[in-house]
């Protein structure tokens, strides 16, 4: 009797071997023509001004990460709502509703944690606060 995990392991090896071999072959056959212009910053044909390393507000990334989490939540909840009525018929109301309530509960706890730690509070600039003061 063969172990079914052998197929999973073989698939994993192939999944790693194919891209690595493709990168190795392309590194061997591509032309190598070093030029300074290839390493220059490209800004849509414009001459770049200033440095290329700009410090972004970390709050942008936090909001983007929260958006991704709650976007995935929507992707998981919508199919559940489609099959919900059939699940109630087959398993009963409590057994059909409990998993999604646990899922939503975990998301609410995560949102509460993010809210408490200020992840959804946008940092305001002095200029924006000055505009509000004059309004």
The per-residue pLDDT for 25 is 96
Percent above pLDDT 70 for the chain: 84
- Helix and strand counts by DSSP (H, E) for the chain: 4, 0
Phi-psi region of 118 (alpha: psi -120 to 50; beta: other; left: phi over 0): left
pLDDT 10s digits, 76-115: 888 888 888 788 888 888 888 888 889 899 989 988 888 8
**Predicted confidence (pLDDT) per residue in 37-88, tens digit:** 777 777 677 776 776 677 777 777 888 888 888 888 888 888 888 888 788 8
pTM: 0.48
Alpha-carbon gap, residue 11 to 34, rounded angstroms: 38
pLDDT for 134 beyond 60: no
| b (16+ CB within 10 A) / e for 45-67 | eeeeeeeeeeeeeeeeebbeebe
């Amino acid at each position: 009797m063969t172990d079914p995990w052998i197929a999973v392991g073989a698939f994993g090896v192939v999944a790693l071997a194919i891209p690595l071999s493709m990168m190795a072959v392309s590194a061997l056959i591509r032309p190598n023509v070093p030029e300074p212009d290839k390493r220059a910053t490209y800004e849509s044909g414009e001459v770049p001004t200033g440095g290329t390393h700009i410090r972004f507000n970390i709050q942008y990334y936090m909001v983007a990460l929260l958006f991704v989490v709650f976007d995935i939540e929507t992707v998981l909840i919508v199919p559940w709502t489609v099959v919900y009525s059939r699940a109630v018929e087959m398993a009963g109301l409590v057994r059909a509703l409990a998993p999604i309530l646990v899922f939503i509960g975990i998301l609410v706890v995560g949102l509460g944690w993010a809210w408490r730690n200020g992840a959804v509070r946008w940092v305001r600039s002095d200029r924006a606060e000055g505009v509000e003061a004059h309004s």
